[in-house]
C-alpha cells in the first residue's frame, strides 16, 4: 500500500518536474538518511541526558553528535557532486564532439 503511494507520487513528480526517476529515487534515499541521522542524534542525546553521565562522557557524546552532523553534511555534498557529474559529462561530451567536427565553441569562463 505504502509502496504504491510512493511510486504514484514519484511518477507525478517526475512528470511535473521533468526529472528522471533515478534522480527522484536518489533524493528519496537522501531524505531517509537525513531523517535517520536526526533520529539517531535525538536518541543519543536523550540517553546521555537520562544517564546523568560525567563530563567526560558528555563531551564524548557531544563529539559523537558533531561527527554525525558532519557526516550528514559531507554525504549531502558528495551526493550533490555525484549528481552534478552527469551534467558535466554531457557538457564535456558535447564540447568534444563539436571540437571533432571543427566547430569553435567559446569557453564558459573568460
Alpha helices (runs of H) in the chain, residue ranges in sequence order: 2-17, 21-51, 55-101
Q: List pLDDT tens digits, range 35-79.
A: 888 888 888 888 877 776 555 665 688 888 888 889 989 988 888
Task: Indicate the domain borders of the chain.
Answer: 12-101
Q: How many CA atoms lie within 13 A of 80 on its CB side?
A: 6
The burial class, CB within 10 Å (0-12 / 13-18 / 19+), for 42 is exposed
The DSSP output letter for 12 is H
The Cα–Cα gap between 76 and 38 comes to: 14
In the chain, the largest separation of any two C-alpha atoms, in whole Å, equals 72
Q: List pLDDT tens digits, range 84-105.
A: 877 777 777 766 666 566 555 5
Amino acid at each position: 500500500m505504502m509502496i504504491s503511494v510512493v511510486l504514484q507520487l514519484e511518477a507525478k513528480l517526475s512528470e511535473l518536474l521533468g526529472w528522471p526517476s533515478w534522480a527522484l529515487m536518489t533524493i528519496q534515499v537522501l531524505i531517509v538518511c537525513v531523517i535517520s541521522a536526526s533520529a539517531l542524534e535525538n536518541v543519543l542525546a536523550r540517553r546521555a541526558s537520562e544517564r546523568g553521565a560525567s563530563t567526560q562522557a558528555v563531551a564524548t557524546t557531544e563529539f559523537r553528535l558533531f561527527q554525525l552532523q558532519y557526516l550528514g553534511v559531507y554525504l549531502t555534498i558528495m551526493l550533490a557532486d555525484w549528481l552534478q557529474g552527469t551534467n558535466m559529462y554531457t557538457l564535456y561530451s558535447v564540447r568534444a564532439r563539436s571540437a571533432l567536427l571543427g566547430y569553435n565553441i567559446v569557453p564558459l569562463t573568460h
